[in-house]
Amino acid sequence: MLAGLAEIAEVGRDHRRGGYSRHLWQVADLELRSWFVERAERLGLQVETDRNGNLWAWWGQPGPDAVVTGSHLDSVPGGGAYDGPLGVISSLEAIGRLQASGFVPTRPCAVLMFAEEEGSRFGIACLGSRLLTGAIDADQARALTDRDGVTLAEAARKIGVDPAHLGVDLVALERIGLFIELHVEQGRGLIDLDQPVAVASSILAHGRWRLTVTGQGNHAGATTMIERRDPMVATAQAIVGVQAAALGRPGTRATIGRIEAIPGGTNVIASSVHAWLDARAETDEETRLLVADIAARAQQAAQQNGCSATLTEESWAGAVQFTPGLRERFAQALGQVPQLSTGAGHDAGVLAAHVPSAMLFVRNPTGISHAPEEFAEAADCVAGIDALELLLRDLL
84 contributes a contact to Mn ion by CB under 5 A: yes
In this complex, which beta carbon is closest to ligand HGY, that of residue 214 or of residue 357?
357
344 contributes a contact to ligand HGY by CB under 6 A: yes
In this complex, which beta carbon is closest to Mn ion, that of residue 163 or of residue 217?
217
Give which of ligand HGY, Mn ion, none residue 345 binds (C-beta under 5 to 8 Å, depending on kind). ligand HGY
345 contributes a contact to ligand HGY by CB under 6 A: yes
Query: Is 183 a known ligand-binding residue?
Result: yes
Query: Is 97 a known ligand-binding residue?
Result: no
Only segment of 75-83, 146-154, 164-172, 327-335 that touches Mn ion (CB under 5 A): 75-83
CB of 71 to ligand HGY, least distance (A): 10
In this complex, which beta carbon is closest to ligand HGY, that of residue 125 or of residue 326?
125
CB of 275 to ligand HGY, least distance (A): 17
CB of 324 to ligand HGY, least distance (A): 22
d(CA 267, CA 68): 54
DSSP label at 281?
E
CB of 205 to Mn ion, least distance (A): 17
Nearest to 210 by CA among 257, 264, 251: 257
181 contributes a contact to ligand HGY by CB under 6 A: no
Query: Is 280 a known ligand-binding residue?
Result: yes
d(CA 306, CA 28): 44
Strand partners, 67: 109, 178
CB of 141 to ligand HGY, least distance (A): 17
CB of 299 to Mn ion, least distance (A): 31
Contact 360, 180 (CB under 8 A): yes
Query: Is 208 a known ligand-binding residue?
Result: yes
Among 83, 93, 185, 380, binds Mn ion (CB under 5 A): 83
Query: Is 229 a known ligand-binding residue?
Result: no
DSSP label at 85?
H
CB of 326 to ligand HGY, least distance (A): 21
d(CA 117, CA 355): 18
d(CA 160, CA 197): 39
Query: Is 118 a known ligand-binding residue?
Result: yes
In this complex, which beta carbon is closest to ligand HGY, that of residue 213 or of residue 344?
344
d(CA 129, CA 167): 10
d(CA 77, CA 380): 25
DSSP letter for each residue of 367-393:
---SSTT----HHHHHHHHHHHHHHHH
Query: Is 39 a known ligand-binding residue?
Result: no
d(CA 322, CA 331): 13
Contacts of 369 (CB under 8 A, 6+ apart): 80, 82, 83, 184, 185, 186, 187, 344
Residues 101-120 that bind ligand HGY (CB under 6 A): 117-118
CB of 157 to Mn ion, least distance (A): 27
Query: Is 329 a known ligand-binding residue?
Result: no
Phi-psi category of residue 268: left, alpha or beta, with phi > 0 → left and psi -120 to 50 → alpha:
beta
Give which of ligand HGY, Mn ion, none residue 125 binds (C-beta under 5 to 8 Å, depending on kind). ligand HGY
374 contributes a contact to ligand HGY by CB under 6 A: no
d(CA 329, CA 342): 20
Neighbours of 376 (CB within 10 A): 27
Give which of Mn ion, ligand HGY, none residue 84 binds (C-beta under 5 to 8 Å, depending on kind). Mn ion
Nearest to 40 by CA among 83, 9, 70, 80: 70
Which residues does the annotation place in the binding site for allantoate?
Answer: 208, 267, 280
Which residues contact Mn ion by CB under 5 A? Answer: 83-84
Which residues does the annotation place in the binding site?
Answer: 72, 83, 118, 183, 208, 267, 280, 370
Which residues contact ligand HGY by CB under 6 A? Answer: 117-118, 125, 344-345
Which residues does the annotation place in the binding site for Zn(2+)?
Answer: 72, 83, 118, 183, 370
